Amino acid sequence: MYVHSPQSVLVDWDEMRRKVEAVTNAPTPRQQRALIDKMLQTDLPQYEQELKDRQRFLQGFPDEPIPSEEKLKGRSYRVAQAVHNGAQRYTKINGPLLAIFNEPAPVVLKPDADAKAKAHAEREGEDLKMVKRQEEAFRALGSDAHVVSISGGNHYIFRSNEDEVLRDMDAFIANLPVEPRDVAASP
- pLDDT single digits (tens) 5-60: 555 666 777 788 888 999 999 999 999 999 999 999 988 888 888 788 778 777 76
CB–CB of 100/150 below 8 Å?
yes
Q: Please give the share of the chain, as a percent, with pLDDT higher than 90.
A: 26
- Report the distance separating Cα 125 and Cα 129, nearest Å: 6
Helix axes 44-58, 8-25, angle to 10 degrees: 150
**Residue 9: Cβ within 10 Å count:** 21
Residues 6+ apart with CB under 8 A from 138: 1, 97, 99, 145, 147
pLDDT higher than 60, residue 67: yes
Round the average pLDDT of the chain to a whole number and report it.
82
Q: Where are the alpha helices (DSSP H) in 26-109?
A: 29-38, 44-58, 69-73, 75-85
Task: From 91, 88, 123, select the one nearest 109 (Cα to Cα).
Answer: 123
The full set of domain ranges for the chain reads 1-62+70-91, 95-177
